Structure 1
Amino acid sequence: MIRNISCLFILVVMLAISAYAYNIIPDSIAMQYSMDGIGYQFLNKNIAVLYYPAIYAVVILITLFFHKKSPKQFEIKNSTNAIKEVIIAAGILMLAFHYCRLVNYENSGSNLAIISYSLALFIMIIGHSMKNIGPNFMVGYRLPWTLADADNWRSTHKLANNVNLLLGGTLIIATAIHPSVNAVIIFLVFSVLIPSAYSFYLFHTNSSGKMR
């Protein structure tokens, strides 16, 4: 119930930002920015104010639809809460982008910090969602080795829980000291690479043991 309310709350906040910003933003808004802070890919404000709320609403509907229609063998109880937490994480990230594009578009320096903090929360929430999740049709480290071995899946996601919580917390501290695009990219890559590499290591170790 709390997760459902959180998803709805994020969407409502997005729409509230849209309503607030509509009369104060220029007729066209940059939706993308270069590394130098130069805006491009401009949208008319009538579209821009609904851009992220519409995407988030579609993400919620499509994700829940496919989860409900997932094959019977993947109907794991723990996956439902995990999928909702992933939706919440995505919503926080979209909310940050929505705010930066419509309200804080003239301050690229603080925008980097806002996006970095939201990405840190994204990584941590994703990590938390991995804690007790079983094999499912939608989320997780769905690698050949995790899907083929329940023990590999369990160990990989247990590690992912700890690694992503640590990476997200560290990124918050790093952002408070000095926001950096490079730091964001590195932390995101590590959040994917470390559990994936560990999963392959377990697979390789088990395969070598069986051959002896």
Structure 2
Amino acid sequence: MTKITNSKFFRLNVVTSLMCLIPLLIGAVFYNQLPDSIPVHFNIYNQPDNYASKSFALFGIPLILLLLQIVCCAVVNSDPKQMNATPQLQYISRFIIPILGIMTQCLIILYVLNDGINVGKVITVVLGIIFLLIGNYLPKCKQNYTIGIRLPWTLADEVNWRKTHRMAGILMVALSILIIIISLAGYEIWTFAILAIAVITPCIYSYTLFKKGKK
């Protein structure tokens, strides 16, 4: 398995952090075409239920995401076992925030300029694709402290970690495909319930393995 060197880590962190600035440029281009108040959150019926000032929505939120990206990169870099995570997962983990930031900025502007775009559907489909990629590479991920299902019993037992991530990967791929299908069919309301299953089930499975190992 090809691993990412420290220099590549640094370049990857810089590139993904700079990508977080792209929404600022997009916001500057469309600034004068937008109203003073912009929707920043939508309910399950694709109706805006929270608004923010134009300046904060276009520039404040992207800057917050940039700060979050920097913190996330710093946390991953401080992991003494970061090399145990597959290169694919290390790339995905660093690109999630920039991609979601760019996508969200574009969707909000499109919604304001051309009312009718289903923001929730697009976001859930993209999330489904991201989780599909994560689920595909999750079984190959070895023990580390930042990427994966980091529970006390998975970090303490390599066998528990391996079995949990193999099961979680298969489950996540299946549920991700389901999320994409139901979102395209107009039932994205069920996305959060499916995501809850994807998160809770591996934890229960891992804990069951832990309890069996103690007997």
- After TM superposition, the score normalised by the length of structure 1 is 0.80
- The residue identity in structure 2 corresponding to 1:171 is I
Aligned counterpart for 1:99 among listed residues 97, 102, 106: 106
Q: Does 1:149 align with 2:157?
A: yes
- In 1: Cα distance, 2:169 partner to 2:86 partner: 17
Q: Does 1:79 align with 2:98?
A: no
**SS of equivalent residue, structure 2 residue 34:** coil
- Aligned position for 1:198: 205
- In 2: Cα distance, 1:68 partner to 1:6 partner: 15
Unaligned runs of 5+ in 1: none
- Aligned position for 2:191: 184
Aligned counterpart for 1:140 among listed residues 148, 153, 156: 148
> Is the Cα contact below 8 Å between 1:31 and 1:43 reproduced in 2?
yes
- The residue identity in structure 1 corresponding to 2:188 is S
> Is the Cα contact below 8 Å between 2:69 and 2:97 reproduced in 1?
no
- The residue identity in structure 2 corresponding to 1:122 is I
- The residue identity in structure 2 corresponding to 1:47 is F
- Aligned position for 2:20: 11
Closer/same/farther in 2, CA of residues 57 and 95 from structure 1, 3 Å limit: same
- Aligned position for 1:116: 124
Closer/same/farther in 2, CA of residues 61 and 36 from structure 1, 3 Å limit: same
> Is the Cα contact below 8 Å between 1:85 and 1:129 reproduced in 2?
no
**SS of equivalent residue, structure 1 residue 134:** coil
Closer/same/farther in 2, CA of residues 125 and 57 from structure 1, 3 Å limit: farther
1:4-49 Cα distance to aligned partner (Å, 9 max, x none) = 3973685365344323432221111121234454434422212211
Instruction: Kindly report the root-mean-square deviation, in angstroms, between the aligned alpha carbons of the 2 structures.
Output: 2.8
- Aligned position for 2:55: 46
Closer/same/farther in 2, CA of residues 88 and 197 from structure 1, 3 Å limit: same
> Is the Cα contact below 8 Å between 1:112 and 1:179 reproduced in 2?
no
- Matched length: 204
**SS of equivalent residue, structure 2 residue 149:** coil
Q: Does 1:29 align with 2:38?
A: yes
Closer/same/farther in 2, CA of residues 46 and 33 from structure 1, 3 Å limit: same
Unaligned runs of 5+ in 2: 1-7
**SS of equivalent residue, structure 2 residue 100:** helix
- The residue identity in structure 1 corresponding to 2:124 is S
> Is the Cα contact below 8 Å between 2:42 and 2:120 reproduced in 1?
no
1:174-207 Cα distance to aligned partner (Å, 9 max, x none) = 22222322x2112211210221122122212222
- The residue identity in structure 2 corresponding to 1:188 is L
- In 2: Cα distance, 1:206 partner to 1:117 partner: 39
1:122-175 Cα distance to aligned partner (Å, 9 max, x none) = 322332452322222222111122112111111111222222122112211222
